[in-house]
Amino acid sequence: MNYKPLVALVSGLLAAQPALAEKYDDLTATVNLIQIVGTIDPAKVSDYTEYMMAVNLYDGLTTADTTGKIQPLLAKSWDVSSDGKTFTFHLREDAKFQNGDEVKASDVVYSVQRLLTINQGVSGFFKPFLAADGVSAVDKHTVKFALKQPSSAFLAMTPLLFVIDQSVALEHGNEGSKWSEDYLSSHSLGTGPYSLGEWQRGSRLVLERNHDYFAGFPQNPLEKVRLLITKDESTIKALANKGELDLSSTYQASETLAAIDKIPGYHIQNLGTATGYYIKFNNQLAPTDDVNIRKAIALSIDYDLANTELHPGESMAGPLASLFKDAFLDGLEAPHLDLAKAAEYVKKSKYAGQKIPLTLGYVAGSAYEEEIALMMQANLQSIGFDVKLQADPWSRVTEIAAKPETTPNVNQIFFGPTYSSPLSVFYNQYSSKSAGSWASMSWLNDKQVDEWIDQASTELDADKRNAIYKKLQKYIVDNQVDAFLQTTRYRQAVNDCLSDMKFVPIQSFYYDFSKYNWLCRPNRK
């Protein structure tokens, strides 16, 4: 029997088939963080690493796109009453927790009541509008929120209502509490795209893909994500040299990024954001309790040097980023260095004629924050200040922010919107109701500002609400509550085989790893 025609036929058929797609499920993506993860309890998250955990381990009722527009997630749709006080959410029937349990309205009720009762994390955003008994299950897949007063930003906040599997949480309640705080501090009970595979506190975490995730993944998803906690610049460069770094922190030194940019297989992504880099002034502590001193310090900052060399970014004239275009106040003058004018403001202050002690705080181990602090120290000492630098680890920064007397005169703080509304920028940083957090180290405590923020939070007319936001911007700038260094551009080293970050104007939602994918197989050495 002649086999040649058969062999030729089979070979031809195989050649006609498309090549088998390469699989990447053996790969682990490595990402570095510069600060520890304190908790993964979704009711207690408060900074960028903790929000990063929440958005990967859990889901909220909604999410947001890159413009900040609210999109369905666990809720497929919702209805809002004309008075802005009743929100009804209709849940997806196919959403499941990572153990396979169905997501029910009772899980949402439990999660929201837990958040409001524990009274940490994002609870402060909701408590002016929502009581624990204001959320109820209409039926198995319908949840109703009855607010105490209208809220202009409630819908924008709903991505932060991370939903917990109630039945499993109750199994792990301790000491008569049904909130299972001990268990949820180190275990995840969410629907999210990733589960917690490993956690060596203070050094690394590993996230593992939830293959049954109801919202799905792109082609070639990240099977595992290894999060290394290090701010050592030499370690980051060494990882890149071995081809093991896939996404760097956005807080690396410019020198580190420049070095990695020269390594084949890497590029530096330069991404516009709504995150501000603020020079925070403690408005209650001498000498920064004097507006003339605050103006003098603001004029002693070399903004061009900071924004072009030390930490490249875009000039920022006030507290709100231009991404919020309808609420953004055009016409504010961009800040600039002017030591002669700064000296004039010192003479106008109640501290004139004396050596003025001043403490500049920054995050220990951050090379560019130290360089900015040193630049400010040199300029301020030339006009009569006695400047002390205070470097603290981030965990210490959050502690000393709790009281005005322990908060340094000047602090360097990055703040991006926690939810996609200008209200987040003003409420978190400048409302006296938010005092005592790292975001509110200005210690403003101003009745007029509080009144405007409260008005904006309940004003349902967009034009009137935006007019209030513009008044807030002018007032904060005129009174030099803070100095505004830049609207930050996120610059990070990215492996050419990994998709780039897409910015979302909600804290760390741009680190939702289910939105990343492999473009090719990275060259590990």
Per the listing, tokens 């998250």 go with 45
Q: How far apart are CA 348 and CA 342, in angstroms?
A: 10
Shared domain for 319 and 447, answered yes or no, is yes
Shared domain for 77 and 197, answered yes or no, is no
Q: How far apart are CA 249 and CA 49, in angstroms?
A: 11
Residue 371 domain-assigned? Answer: yes
Residue 140 domain-assigned? Answer: yes
CA distances from 221 to 74, 210, 344, 360 (A): 21, 11, 58, 44
Residues sharing a CB contact under 8 Å with residue 230, sequence separation 6 or more, in sequence order: 32, 33, 34, 236
Shared domain for 138 and 223, answered yes or no, is no
Shared domain for 245 and 279, answered yes or no, is no
Which of residues 140, 172, 204 is at a domain's end? 172
Count of structural domains, the chain: 3
Residue 40 domain-assigned? Answer: no
Shared domain for 163 and 233, answered yes or no, is no
pLDDT tens digits, the chain, 525 residues: what are they? Answer: 343 333 343 344 334 444 446 788 899 999 999 999 999 999 999 999 999 999 999 999 999 999 999 999 999 999 999 999 999 999 999 999 999 999 999 999 999 999 999 999 999 999 999 999 999 999 999 999 999 999 999 999 999 999 999 999 999 987 667 899 999 999 999 999 999 999 999 999 999 999 999 999 999 999 999 999 998 999 999 999 999 999 999 999 899 999 999 999 999 999 999 999 999 999 999 999 999 999 999 999 999 999 999 999 999 999 999 999 999 999 999 999 999 999 999 999 999 999 999 999 999 989 999 999 999 999 999 999 999 999 999 999 999 999 999 999 999 999 999 999 999 999 999 999 999 999 999 999 999 999 999 999 999 999 999 999 999 999 999 999 999 999 999 999 999 999 999 999 999 999 999 999 999 999 998
Contact 130, 143 (CB under 8 A): no
Q: How far apart are CA 297 and CA 337, in angstroms?
A: 10
Please report the pLDDT score of residue 21 as a whole number. Answer: 61
Shared domain for 456 and 368, answered yes or no, is yes
Shared domain for 159 and 202, answered yes or no, is no
276, β-bridge pairs: 415, 487
Cis-peptide into 287, omega within 30 deg: yes
Residue 476 domain-assigned? Answer: yes
Q: How far apart are CA 137 and CA 135, in angstroms?
A: 7
Please report the pLDDT score of residue 176 as a whole number. Answer: 63
- H-type alpha helices, 81-206: 105-118, 123-126, 154-157, 166-171, 181-184
Residue 185 domain-assigned? Answer: no
For helices 447-458 and 462-478, the axis angle rounded to 10 degrees is: 160
Radius of gyration over every alpha carbon of the chain, rounded to an integer in angstroms: 25
Shared domain for 332 and 206, answered yes or no, is no
pTM, two decimal places:
0.88
Shared domain for 462 and 501, answered yes or no, is no
Please report the pLDDT score of residue 175 as a whole number. Answer: 60
388, β-bridge pairs: 359
Contact 104, 140 (CB under 8 A): yes
Residues sharing a CB contact under 8 Å with residue 83, sequence separation 6 or more, in sequence order: 150
Contact 127, 116 (CB under 8 A): yes
Shared domain for 320 and 448, answered yes or no, is yes
Residue 439 belongs to domain spanning: 273-488
Residue 186 domain-assigned? Answer: no
Please report the pLDDT score of residue 5 as a whole number. Answer: 39
Contact 43, 120 (CB under 8 A): yes
CA distances from 396 to 140, 325, 400, 401, 502 (A): 44, 35, 6, 9, 31
- H-type alpha helices, 349-490: 367-381, 394-400, 422-430, 447-458, 462-478
362, β-bridge pairs: 391
Question: Could you tell me the CATH number of the domain that includes residue 156?
Answer: 3.90.76.10
Residue 16 domain-assigned? Answer: no
Shared domain for 155 and 125, answered yes or no, is yes
Question: Could you tell me the CATH number of the domain that includes residue 208?
Answer: 3.40.190.10
Shared domain for 367 and 248, answered yes or no, is no
State the distance between the two ends of the chain, measured CA to CA, in whole angstroms.
51
Indicate the DSSP class of residue 520: S
CA dihedral 466, 468, 471, 475 (to 10 degrees): -130
Question: Could you tell me the CATH number of the domain that includes residue 343?
Answer: 3.10.105.10
Task: State the SS3 of 9-45.
Answer: HHHHHHHHCCCCCCCCCCCEEEEEECCCCCCCCCCCC
Residue 367 domain-assigned? Answer: yes
